[in-house]
Amino acid sequence: MTTLPATIDRAACERLDAGDPLRAFRDRFLCDDDLVYLDGNSLGRIPRETPRRLATLLGDEWGRGLVRSWTSAGWMESPLRCGDAIAEIIGAGPGEVLVTDSTSVDLFKLAAAVMDARPRRRVLLTEHENFPTDRYIAGGVTELLGAGRMLRSVPRQEISAAIDDDTALLLLTHVDFRTGERFDMRALTDAAHAKGALVLWDLSHSTGAINVDLHAAGADLATGCGYKYLNGGPGAPAYLFVNTPLQSELRNPIRGWLGHESPFTYEPEYRGATGIRQWMSGSPPIIAIASLRVAVDIAREAGMQQLEDKAAQLTELFIRLSDERLAEHGFELATPRDASRRGAQVSLRHPSGYPVVRALIERSVVGDFRDPDICRFGLAPLYTRFVDVWDGVDRLDAVMRSGDFRREEFQSRVPIT
């Protein structure tokens, strides 16, 4: 991992791109626009291979193979095979990851399974700042199961101290969606295990951006989405991880027929499949899984340490340039300065954050905004260049100097996704 030069200008950024070991990967994505796209943490770019793969799937496999493709084209196994491919980039083993449903549904399945399996522990613990869907799902699980179960939410710095003998599950998002701050997965897993609790990690803002190692952290359970840094496409399916020992203890509460040990004998009584396949519920979304698989294979090929290294450099560059050129406009860094404590994202607080992001989009720099005052910039390491970071900060500086963001048209709130 190279360090940044002492003096940075656009030419220095071009030299960093020229020396980037991942530079060829940008060509694997459709990038035929002049956008500075710093929103891969919301929706990743499309791999050039994806339309070709889906054309084959549609024409040959669905069109001509028809129902026979469930076996002849490997459709039935595709959620397991794509899960195994994702396992390689999150430090899990074969047979521990399944592509299925959405992150919300997978959070529900895993959280409900833990709360159901360990009824003597009543508390599902999370943090105040967790992503809303994680909090909402957790609250829904505890209310639905009743019998004294409760959701407890504490500030970030009080999490470890809040884990006790009544804690069944700790639910955390590994990289915070607002600030990009990264939890120490190993330390929190150890703290939970010391009290007999399990941990469920939401990896939505981690996988494909940084080097996640679930086995090294002793992780129990995880899930994450496929459409951010994994580049699987809009609303791509999610994946879930259940470590091997827990696979024989926990039961999928949404007992679909494809999670049955023997789905094609249509038995009247449910017998959950051995292994990760138990967590399948309905028929797998074959087209969406094929799209996700193309993208996962690109990340595998790049290698997770290389992605983490480049994300660290891109975010470092953004922070340096922000210190030099944006602090004077009132921006405050919300992201940790220590690269090991952040994801591939830099967030800046500014009281006029919303119209600033709108004005920046008009200058062809796509970032996004999260209430109350967070301007988010996702620096997806597979296709973001160092010059993109330069241009992004340069145009943000220009937005502030011009006062463009004060224009009436940028003040009214429409969602920036």
Q: Which of 29, 131, 369, 377 is catalytic?
A: 131
- 50 scored as a contact of a second copy (CB under 8 A): yes
- 246 scored as a contact of a second copy (CB under 8 A): no
What is the chain's Cα-based Rg? 22
Q: Beta-carbon neighbour count of residue 357 at 10 Å?
A: 27
- Least Cα distance to 57 among 46, 47, 44, 70 occurs for 70
- Least Cα distance to 177 among 130, 143, 136, 214 occurs for 130
End-to-end CA distance of the chain: 32
- 144 scored as a contact of a second copy (CB under 8 A): yes
Cα gap 288→115, rounded to integer Å: 30
Find the binder of a second copy among 95, 196, 253, 336 (CB under 8 A). 253
Active site residue 9: no
- Provide DSSP, 57-109: IIIIIIIIIGGGHHHHT-TTTHHHHHHHHHHHHTT--TTSEEE-S-HHHHHHH
Find the binder of a second copy among 20, 84, 96, 101 (CB under 8 A). 101
If you count them, how many residues does the chain have?
417
| Contact window for a second copy (CB under 8 A) among 13-21, 249-257, 380-388, 398-406 | 249-257
Residue (143 or 301) nearer to a second copy, CB: 143
Q: Beta-carbon neighbour count of residue 176 at 10 Å?
A: 24
- Provide DSSP, 174-189: SB-TTT-BB--HHHHH
Find the binder of a second copy among 12, 105, 117, 273 (CB under 8 A). 105
- 74 scored as a contact of a second copy (CB under 8 A): no
Q: Which of residues 145-174 bind a second copy (CB under 8 A)?
A: 145-147, 153
User: Do 293 and 279 touch, CB atoms closer than 8 A?
Assistant: no
Cα gap 187→193, rounded to integer Å: 10
Number of residues that bind a second copy (CB under 8 A): 92
Find the binder of a second copy among 95, 140, 218, 303 (CB under 8 A). 140
- 287 scored as a contact of a second copy (CB under 8 A): yes
Q: Which two tokens stand for residue 227?
A: 């459409």
Find the binder of a second copy among 70, 297, 329, 394 (CB under 8 A). 70
- 117 scored as a contact of a second copy (CB under 8 A): no
Binding mask 13-32 for a second copy (x = CB under 8 A): -----------------x-x
Find the binder of a second copy among 167, 173, 247, 291 (CB under 8 A). 291
Residue (112 or 170) nearer to a second copy, CB: 112
Residue (260 or 339) nearer to a second copy, CB: 260
- 77 scored as a contact of a second copy (CB under 8 A): no
- 286 scored as a contact of a second copy (CB under 8 A): yes
Active site residue 228: yes
Q: Which of residues 299-358 bind a second copy (CB under 8 A)?
A: none
- 235 scored as a contact of a second copy (CB under 8 A): yes
**Following CA atoms 232, 237, 243, 245 in sequence, which dihedral angle do they give, to the nearest 10 degrees?**
-150
- 414 scored as a contact of a second copy (CB under 8 A): yes
Burial of 344 from C-beta contacts in 10 A (0-12 / 13-18 / 19+): buried
- 120 scored as a contact of a second copy (CB under 8 A): no
| Contact window for a second copy (CB under 8 A) among 87-95, 131-139, 184-192, 403-411 | 131-139
Known catalytic residues are 131, 202, 227-228, 376
